[in-house]
């Protein structure tokens, strides 16, 4: 079913291109591992198991890691009401609604498709945002589901996960595997490490570039669906400012899931590292919302809820 979220052909093209390039990288990676490890069965079983786990259980993994739990309408009636209204406007299936007991104000969407999606907000976000701001954040997250970029990011990140696991597997097999470690074994070990590191680096860059664009696309779609870009801008400003005041040590666990968050748990706007960030800078996002506000003739000033 096609939702009424504003379509973004450039996002679709970028998702397709990223998956194509990662697919080529994936084929080469698996072929290299089979040659180096001399066991296509081992490689096939490992890759297949990890793909199934990440794609089919990504929502459960994310929910567990970020302490999210499914909540019913009786427990959070206002939250459910906003999601119901947005889904009705967007003409899309209602996702599972969840809440994470974290003080860090944030939200994320996960799931392999719109029929198996979860939208989760933290208690810190619910406590800090006004209703219009919350609506903007939820519209942003729902647009990720409607555009199917959540599933694409999940699949795209799979190769990097496999590369990282191969490095660890190769390392521990050498440390604890026993047996004779001759020059050939050392060469295979070094080759596996080298190939895995290269694959991880390339997939890292491709995924980050796609992630930054999909966040801008979600902001655009949410602003047009709600007709209130200033409320979304206000939420962005408020959430980013509050995250910056949270101690860094409290953000470290959440940073592993930055690609899925509404705003990255970095505590500051990136400098030169913005080229490796999962999100555009706050300035870029507010500038875009300001242009949309002007296009829509919105009376409120971006950065303040209307």
Structure tokens at 170: 């190769």
Cβ-based burial of 295 (10 A; exposed 0-12, middle 13-18, buried ≥19)? exposed
How confident is the model at residue 252, as a pLDDT? Answer: 64
How confident is the model at residue 188, as a pLDDT? Answer: 67
How confident is the model at residue 303, as a pLDDT? Answer: 42
The mean pLDDT of the chain is 81
Distance, in Å, from the CA atom of 58 to the CA atom of 61, rounded to the nearest integer, reads 5
279 is in an annotated binding site: no
Could you give the residue ranges of the DSSP H alpha helices within 148-259? Answer: 149-176, 183-226, 229-244, 248-255
Nearest in space to 148 (alpha carbons), one of 99, 49, 218 = 218
pLDDT in tens, 119-152: 999 999 999 999 999 999 999 999 999 998 888 8
74 is in an annotated binding site: no
Nearest in space to 127 (alpha carbons), one of 236, 239, 231 = 239
Catalytic entry in 141, 249, 273, 295: 141
- pLDDT of 288 > 60? The answer is yes
Nearest in space to 133 (alpha carbons), one of 269, 280, 300 = 300
| Mean pLDDT value across residues 215-229 | 95
How confident is the model at residue 201, as a pLDDT? Answer: 81
Pairwise pLDDT comparison (85 vs 67), residue with the higher score: 85
Q: Is 141 a catalytic residue?
A: yes
How confident is the model at residue 170, as a pLDDT? Answer: 59
How confident is the model at residue 236, as a pLDDT? Answer: 95
What Cα–Cα distance (Å) separates residue 37 from each residue in 29, 30, 191, 269? 12, 10, 10, 42
Distance, in Å, from the CA atom of 188 to the CA atom of 242, rounded to the nearest integer, reads 48
* Strands 117-122, 96-100: pairing kind: parallel
pLDDT in tens, 5-42: 777 888 989 888 888 888 787 777 777 777 766 777 77
Distance, in Å, from the CA atom of 306 to the CA atom of 299, rounded to the nearest integer, reads 8
215 is in an annotated binding site: yes
Residue 261 main-chain phi, psi, to 5 deg: -80, 155
- pLDDT of 157 > 50? The answer is yes
- pLDDT of 251 > 80? The answer is no
Whether residue 33 contacts residue 176, with contact meaning beta carbons closer than 8 Å, is answered with: no
* Chain-centroid distance, C-alpha 51: 17
How confident is the model at residue 255, as a pLDDT? Answer: 67
How confident is the model at residue 182, as a pLDDT? Answer: 60
Q: Which of these ranges, 29-38, 226-235, 279-288, 297-306, has the smallest mean pLDDT?
A: 297-306
- pTM of this prediction? 0.80
How confident is the model at residue 71, as a pLDDT? Answer: 95
- pLDDT of 83 > 60? The answer is yes
pLDDT in tens, 51-72: 776 667 767 777 777 788 999 9
How confident is the model at residue 56, as a pLDDT? Answer: 73
- Per cent of the chain over pLDDT 90 is 36
Distance, in Å, from the CA atom of 148 to the CA atom of 232, rounded to the nearest integer, reads 21
pLDDT in tens, 174-203: 544 544 456 676 676 677 677 777 877 888
Other beta carbons less than 10 A from residue 13's beta carbon: 10
What Cα–Cα distance (Å) separates residue 53 from each residue in 48, 60, 130, 237, 260? 9, 10, 37, 36, 18
- pLDDT of 221 > 50? The answer is yes
């Amino acid at each position: 079913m096609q939702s009424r979220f504003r379509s973004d052909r450039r996002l679709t093209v970028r998702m397709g291109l990223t998956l194509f390039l990662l697919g080529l990288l994936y084929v080469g990676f698996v072929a290299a591992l089979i040659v180096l490890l001399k066991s296509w069965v081992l490689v096939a079983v490992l890759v297949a198991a990890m793909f199934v786990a990440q794609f089919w259980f990504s929502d459960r993994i994310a929910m567990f890691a970020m302490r999210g739990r499914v909540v019913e309408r009786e427990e959070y009636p206002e939250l459910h009401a906003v999601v119901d209204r947005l889904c009705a406007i967007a003409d899309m299936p209602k996702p599972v609604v969840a809440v994470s007991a974290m003080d860090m104000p944030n939200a994320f969407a996960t799931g392999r498709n719109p029929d198996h999606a979860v939208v989760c907000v933290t208690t810190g976000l619910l406590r800090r945002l006004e209703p219009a701001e919350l609506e903007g954040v939820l519209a942003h997250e729902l647009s990720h589901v409607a555009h199917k970029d959540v599933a694409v990011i999940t699949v795209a990140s799979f190769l990097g996960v496999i590369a990282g696991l191969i490095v660890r597997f190769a390392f521990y097999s050498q440390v604890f595997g026993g047996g004779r470690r001759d020059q050939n074994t050392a060469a295979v070990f070094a080759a596996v490490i080298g190939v895995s590191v290269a694959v991880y680096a390339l997939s890292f860059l491709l995924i980050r570039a796609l992630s930054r664009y999909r966040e801008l696309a979600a902001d655009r779609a949410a602003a047009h669906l709600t007709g209130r870009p200033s409320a979304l801008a206000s939420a962005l400003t408020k959430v980013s400012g509050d995250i910056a005041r949270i101690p860094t040590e409290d953000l470290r666990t959440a940073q592993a899931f930055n690609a899925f968050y509404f705003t990255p748990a970095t505590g500051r706007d990136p400098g030169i590292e913005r080229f490796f960030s999962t999100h555009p800078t706050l300035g870029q996002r507010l500038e875009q919302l300001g242009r949309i506000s002007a296009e829509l003739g919105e009376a409120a000033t971006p950065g303040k809820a209307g």
